[in-house]
Amino acid sequence: MLDQRTKELINSTIPALKDRGEEITKVFYHKLFKRYPEVKGMFDMEKQANGTQPKALALAVLNAARNIENLDRIAASINSIAKVHVNLGVKPEHYPLVGECLLAAIKEVLNPTDEVLEAWAKGYGIIADYYINVESKLINA
């Protein structure tokens, strides 16, 4: 569970994320593929080139941030993304790599305070755990 202050800090960054979400995800992918080239093979580079995938990730992160208090509300959308992940071989151990690069991208683009970054680290942890749980149920179904 997230404390009130963390939720407020996450909520306070939603407008900035909305405005610069695509830029953040582009920086994010750049970092992810540079730091962890081993995950690159799972991604469709055509989608990277035309910006479809950066847009989808930005929207999903934004949607999760808006519903951080009750991710069950967006279970249908998370479920369909989870199916794509499972089919492409996304594993629980990939989530910290994505989290690290996402936070680094938020830091680079928005230059937020340390407190905001820590709030996002906690928020990402909640969102990642939710996805990992849905994906493990799909795998074991």
Task: Kindly list the residues in this chain that would bind ligand HEM in the complex (CB under 6 A).
Answer: 39, 42-44, 47, 53, 56-57, 60-61, 64, 81, 84-85, 88, 90, 94-95, 98, 127-128, 131
Mention every residue, 6+ apart, whose C-beta is less than 8 A from residue 102. Answer: 24, 28, 61, 124
What residues contact residue 132 under an 8 Å CB cut-off, 6+ apart? 92, 95
> What's the min distance (Å) between Cβ of 98 and ligand HEM?
4
Q: Which residue's beta carbon is nearest to the bound ligand HEM?
A: 44
The candidate with the shortest Cα–Cα distance to 60, out of 124, 137, 134, 111, is 124
Question: From the candidates 95, 124, 130, 131, which is the catalytic residue?
Answer: 95
Give least dist CB 5 to ligand HEM, A: 22
- Residue whose pair of structure tokens reads 């208090």 in the numeric block: 69
Look up 95 and say whether it is catalytic.
yes
The catalytically annotated residue of 29, 130, 131, 135 is 135
| Terminal C-alpha separation, the chain | 27
The CA distance from 121 to 103, in Å, is 7
Active-site residue, 130 included = no
We find the least distance from the C-beta atom of residue 105 to ligand HEM, in angstroms, to be 13
Mind telling me the catalytic residues?
Answer: 95, 135
